[in-house]
Chain A
Amino acid sequence: MVNTSVQLSTMHLDNPVIPASGTFGFGYEFAELYDINVLGSISMKGTTREPRFGNPTPRIAECTAGLINSVGLQNPGIDKVIEHEIPELSKYYTKPVIANISGFAIDEYVECCEKADKVDKIGMIELNISCPNVHNGGMSFGTSAESAYEVTKAVRAVTSKPLFVKLTPNAPSIAEIAVACEKAGADGVSLINTLLGMRIDLKTRKPVIANVKGGFSGPAVFPVALRMVYEVYEAVNIPIMGMGGVSSAADVIEMMLAGATAVQVGAANLKDPYACKNIIDELPIEMAKLGIENLSDIIGGAH
């Protein structure tokens, strides 16, 4: 018998597999298909202080081994998430969840996190300082070490829950940003968010995405994500949630060898709603094949 459990800050996870924010809604659609209690945890749909519709459509473009999205943080707002979405999700999911919080100004992040801090079901806050979709938005926080430090510090002051900061790969040095977040009191970092990309429709000769650019994710970005997790692992002493194109149990193991304590699965959920379940089912088999008894033993094993 192999042991797939990991300790992620104060959260004990049965396995390190977590659906990534924005690819799993609030879980109901998937609960129709399988018992979502198999998941290590769930990173809920990115939430802001006010309800948001997001960007104009089209906001999806297919790519080779991936897709671009420019959803732009559509969500019902933190109050509705706490009053309605979390109780609904709790009907299907008994474990603690991760609240993914976004904002456009420090006071918005702080207000959302103050509210999230009071919710028992929330086991961790994941601060999205990296969404590339919103003009004058999260982008600026995640691309400068000073602003990443500032927002992390401000949120740290209002929550005692484990605080992970989700980093953008569209920064000059992601390791530098990770170090700034660690200094500001983050309990961990999540990486990577999507890479900025675009597609052009050959018939109309115009960008496919209404907003021109969007976030690129999927298996194509896996090697980039892996390299960044590897670099950040060398730069900080806090745990890492690794993500970016993870689509199989082998990818999970590779991400953990690079330095991830837990692994999020994003785009794969959109292609196959059973992706997370299949990865969780494959994980013990893949571990046995590779002679891994305790999954947590391999974290950072490639260094």
Chain B
Amino acid sequence: MKKSLFEIVSNIGIAKSVWKMVLRGDTSDITKPGQFINIELDGFYLRRPISVCDVNGDEVTIIYKAVGKGTEYMATLQPGVKLDVLSGLGNGFDVAACGDAPVLLGGGAGSAPMYLLAKELIKAGKKPSVIIGFNSAEDSYLEEDFKALGLDDVYTTTVDGTKGIKGFVTNAFEHLAVKPDYHYICGPEVMMKVVYDALECDGQYSFEERMGCGFGACMGCSCETKYGNKRICRDGPVLVKEEIIW
């Protein structure tokens, strides 16, 4: 964990209410995909925890949905603005745990951390397939970015069928070129539960919870697991499949 100032490089809308912000600063504590940063915003008491989508040198990319006053305010921020950021939070995904053919599953805003995860898996010599699910075409993003990494087994699903495969991420399973031997997932809990029941292989699940501090001090975001109580912000947000209690 590190507290430092990051400068906004860019902050642009990429889908309906979805924004992509690139920040420049000390990224040295961001060591794994699936970690998050916690951003202080003027006029808001608590920080906003946002998962890391990508890291390139001293730049970190986040993708966030403007769903409340804090994130709506974030969407108005211009390049050059400096933000107080706690970086390198959370345990992140373990890329060593999977075989050669993992599937990455993202739901809505949960698709963002899958991007850095895909990059790290490719770096480790693995060939992930990707399924990202949205409500509608206007909500969707990232498909082209995954394809630009050289991945060809990439699918978008939409509930209303306006883009890609109609339905939920599970509706894309039959299209996968290779049967997945492992899965990584981040998305709404209902979606993760459906995948948990549908896939037999092991996997890692990234959870979300309302947080106080974001670094393990307040115990605001705890959950019960088969391996004991865990703080989503500190011992998570990633839990392995076998420890989850729904």
Considering the chains assembled together, what is the distance between the CA atoms of A218 and B46 in angstroms? 10
- Judge if A66 is at the interface, Cβ distance under 8 Å: yes
Judging by beta carbons under 8 Å apart, are B219 and A25 in contact?
Answer: yes
What is the chain B residue whose CB lies nearest that of A274? B3
**Knowing A67-B212, A270-B218 touch, does A62 contact B46 (C-beta < 8 A)?**
yes
Judging by beta carbons under 8 Å apart, are A271 and B3 in contact?
Answer: no
- Judge if A71 is at the interface, Cβ distance under 8 Å: yes
Kindly supply a per-residue 1/0 record for chain B positions 99-140, scoring 1 wherever the CB is within 8 Å of any chain A CB and 0 otherwise.
000000000000000000000000000000000000000000
Those of A81-102 within 8 Å (CB) of chain B: none
CB contact between A67 and one of B46, B215, B219 (< 8 Å): that residue: B46
Choose the segment among B52-60, B156-164, B170-178, B222-230 that binds chain A (4+ C-beta atoms closer than 8 Å). B222-230
- Judge if B169 is at the interface, Cβ distance under 8 Å: no
Judging by beta carbons under 8 Å apart, are B45 and A66 in contact?
Answer: yes
Considering the chains assembled together, what is the distance between the CA atoms of A24 and B223 in angstroms? 19
- Judge if B241 is at the interface, Cβ distance under 8 Å: no
Judging by beta carbons under 8 Å apart, are B210 and A59 in contact?
Answer: yes
Judging by beta carbons under 8 Å apart, are B45 and A67 in contact?
Answer: yes
B contact residues around A74 at 8 Å (CB): 219, 222, 229
- Judge if A120 is at the interface, Cβ distance under 8 Å: no
A contact residues around B220 at 8 Å (CB): 57, 59-60, 69, 71
Considering the chains assembled together, what is the distance between the CA atoms of A244 and B107 in angstroms? 40
- Judge if B40 is at the interface, Cβ distance under 8 Å: yes
A contact residues around B209 at 8 Å (CB): 57-58
Choose the segment among A27-35, A105-113, A167-175, A254-262 that binds chain B (4+ C-beta atoms closer than 8 Å). A27-35
Considering the chains assembled together, what is the distance between the CA atoms of A65 and B221 in angstroms? 20
* Residues of chain A at the chain B interface (Cβ within 8 Å): 22-25, 29-30, 32-33, 45, 53-54, 57-67, 69, 71, 74, 208, 218, 267, 269-274
Cβ contacts A to B, 6 pairs, < 8 Å: A24-B217, A33-B3, A54-B222, A71-B219, A74-B219, A271-B47
What are the 9 tightest A-B residue pairs by CB atom distance, in nearest-first order? Answer: A60-B220, A270-B213, A58-B210, A74-B219, A60-B212, A62-B46, A60-B210, A25-B217, A29-B216
